[in-house]
Amino acid sequence: MSRRLFIPHHVTGFWIPAYSEDPLSTGSVGVGVLIGGAVAAYGEEGGVRYNDLLLEPGGGVRISSEFPLGYGYAASAVVSIAKAVGAFGLSREAFAKAHVEEATRRTGLGDVLAIYTGGCLVVRTRPGAPGVGEAHSLPCPNVYAVTADLARIDTRHMLASRHEAIVEAGSEALRAFMREPSFTSFLEAAESFSRRVGFLDERAEALRRRRGVLGLFVKKGVLAIFVEREWVSDVAEEARRLGEVHIKELRELRVSWI
């Protein structure tokens, strides 16, 4: 039987990029939430695959997840972590290797650190790889995340084309959140950030007025809506007009062997 590793996904609500000549200290500060997870199975032939899509010819790891690549679920970080843990074990060194791959390729800046930290609402206070960057987790309330896949967007292009807007809006969002860190203030800051950066459109804004919705934001091509339990089905049905929908109860998540 092959070894299997559970890896949470991460959807950041807002962030401020920090670039350095050293990829270990390149990263971002900001706040995001861990949602759902992927399972990486090792020891199989066929290269590195994500939901049967061949990414690399070597490596022998098959990753299964309900979340697609390229939308904003930190799937590239999941892949980098899966590969690094396969080579270096479940160690901080492995996560540092994964972060370097992400930072070098500009496919992600803070996702590896957030996933390494674990928990639910992850606050990244110093940019960089695990061991260099710093982060901690805050609890989430007993609510559900309803996410909709809006569009596939290239991370490198997004970071370059919206850099100034992201830095300005991210700085304001982080200041607002840090005045009173909580899940509620996170939702408020993330919604404001996604509106100012230009991620949030009228279709998503309309869902904000649905009964049971506590808050929402758009990260790249993912619409994340946070909903009270009794209204999940209604909100999910409405969100299906925008893209494929996923429903996850918020809870503490960590990378672990299963």
What confidence score (pLDDT) does residue 122 get?
A: 99
Intervals of the chain under pLDDT 50? none
What confidence score (pLDDT) does residue 2 get?
A: 77
Contact yes or no for 11/222 (Cβ under 8 A) = yes
pLDDT in tens, 150-168: 999 999 889 989 999 999 9
**Whole-angstrom distance, CA of residue 151 vs CA of residue 69:** 11
Neighbours of 15 (CB within 10 A): 28
Task: Give 2-41 as a 3 state SS string.
Answer: CCEEEEEEEEEEEEEEECCCCCCCCEEEEEEEEEEEEEEE
Residue 73 amino acid letter? Y
Residue with the two structure tokens 């009964």: 211
pTM exceeding 0.85? yes
Q: Report residue 171 as tokens.
A: 């700085």
Residue 143's contacts (CB-CB under 8 Å, 6 or more residues apart) are 214, 226, 227, 228, 229, 249, 250
Query: Rounded to 5 degrees, what are φ and ψ at 23?
Result: -60, -20
What confidence score (pLDDT) does residue 77 get?
A: 98
Task: Give 130-154 as a 3 state SS string.
Answer: ECCEEEEEECCCCCEEEEEECCCCC
Query: Rounded to 5 degrees, what are φ and ψ at 95?
Result: -65, -35
Pairing of strands 121-126, 134-138: antiparallel
Contact yes or no for 1/35 (Cβ under 8 A) = no
Domains of the chain and any CATH numbers: 4-137+253-257 (3.30.230.10), 144-249 (3.30.70.890)
What confidence score (pLDDT) does residue 43 get?
A: 87
Picking from 145, 161, 150, 154, the residue whose alpha carbon sits closest to that of residue 221 is 150
What confidence score (pLDDT) does residue 254 get?
A: 98
SS3 of 184, please?
A: helix
Residue 253's contacts (CB-CB under 8 Å, 6 or more residues apart) are 8, 34, 35, 36, 37, 118, 119, 120
